[in-house]
Amino acid sequence: MLLKHTKTSTNHRRLLASRNGKRPSGTSRGKIGLAVGLCLTAVVGSVLYLNYGPRQQPATMDFRVALILHDSSNGANFTPPAYVGVTGGIWVNRTLDAYGRPGYAPLSTRDNSGTIFIQTVTITYSSGAPLLFNMKDFFNIWGQPFNEYCVGLGERGVYCQGWADNSRIRYLDADTNGFWNVTETVVDDANRNGLYDNGETVLAGSTPQNQASLEDDPRILYIDSGHYGFWDVGEAVVYDNNSDGYWEPTEPLISGQLPPNALEGFPVWKSPPFMSDGDNERCLSRPPNLTPAKKEWVILVWSPLGAQYCGLGSFGV
- The pairing of strands 186-188 and 202-204 is antiparallel
In tens, the pLDDT along 111-160 reads: 999 999 999 999 998 888 999 999 999 999 999 999 988 999 998 888 88
In tens, the pLDDT along 165-179 reads: 777 899 999 999 999
φ, ψ of residue 48 to 5 degrees: the values are -115, 115
In tens, the pLDDT along 285-310 reads: 989 999 999 899 999 998 878 878 88
Which of 43, 78, 79 lies closest to 294, judged by CA? 43
Give Cα separations from 154 to 71, 81, 197, 240, 271 (angstroms).
Answer: 14, 8, 35, 30, 19
33 pLDDT tier (thresholds 50, 70, 90): very low
Which of 67, 66, 71, 68 lies closest to 12, judged by CA? 71
